Amino acid sequence: MSRITTIAFDADDTLWHNENLFEEHHRKYCKLLAAYHDEETVERTLFRTEMRNLELYGYGVKSFTLSSIETAIELTKGSISAEELRNILDFGKNMLAHPVELLEGVEETIAALSQDYPLMLITKGDLRDQERKITKSGLAPYFKHIEVVSEKKREDYARLFRQHGLNPTKLLMVGNSLKSDILPILEQGGLGVHIPYHLTWEHERVATAPNENDNFHELASIKHLPALVAALTS
């Protein structure tokens, strides 16, 4: 198992909190539209709008805000006020301006692993927002490669690995999303470490997780990652 030569990390909800901001937006958004529809209808319609717009807008706060505005207009049959729309815009602006809050144990873990392995950051979403978070996190100096991508499918990873001359079978990927971070790596013969976040966007959920084996492991906290890497490479 000494084949690991590079360790790659997801960013949102793996290194810092992110989904909790969306959860707070959902709470405020449903309260704003409570006079028009029940929470279940609002949530269902918003998710449908997001999925319809993914190809055009991609991922991230800006995409989410545009879909929130479109959904509000649809659900109110165009009667939503300019003030209410301004509130939705403010929800999005507050998310974009929110401080970057690292998960417990992240900085110590990244610093320790960077002493022995080249580290790579692979994050999905809006370029400007992701660059802001990477800079504000203070973690950028630990990474040899940093990539912001619009999608995280098998072909996207394969392109990155070719670009950087990396062999996927020698790479360990760490992330909170089985769908985006782990499964595409396992399909290419790499290793995956799943560290679940307490919230998961519906679009990132999978029906079943892989069985734990030599290539796939699940940890409760990133703090346990150095010990796992040591065990895998001993």
- Convert the pLDDT of each residue in 25-66 to its tens digit: 999 999 999 999 999 999 999 999 999 999 999 999 999 999
- How far is C-alpha 87 from the geometric centre of its chain's CA atoms? 25
Predicted TM-score of the model (pTM): 0.94
In this predicted structure, what is the pLDDT of residue 2? Answer: 57
Same domain, 165 and 225: yes
> Which residue among 97, 119, 141 closes a domain?
97
- The domain boundary, picked from 36, 66, 97, lies at 97
**Per-residue pLDDT at 208 exceeds 90:** no
Question: C-alpha distances in angstroms, 162 versus 22, 72, 142, 186?
Answer: 34, 43, 22, 17
Low-confidence winner among 74-88, 141-155, 171-185, 193-207 (lowest mean pLDDT): 193-207
Shared domain for 200 and 218, answered yes or no, is yes
Does 156 reside within a domain?
A: yes
- At residue 222 the predicted structure's pLDDT band, cuts being 50, 70 and 90, is very high
Tokens 């890497």 map to which residue? Answer: 229
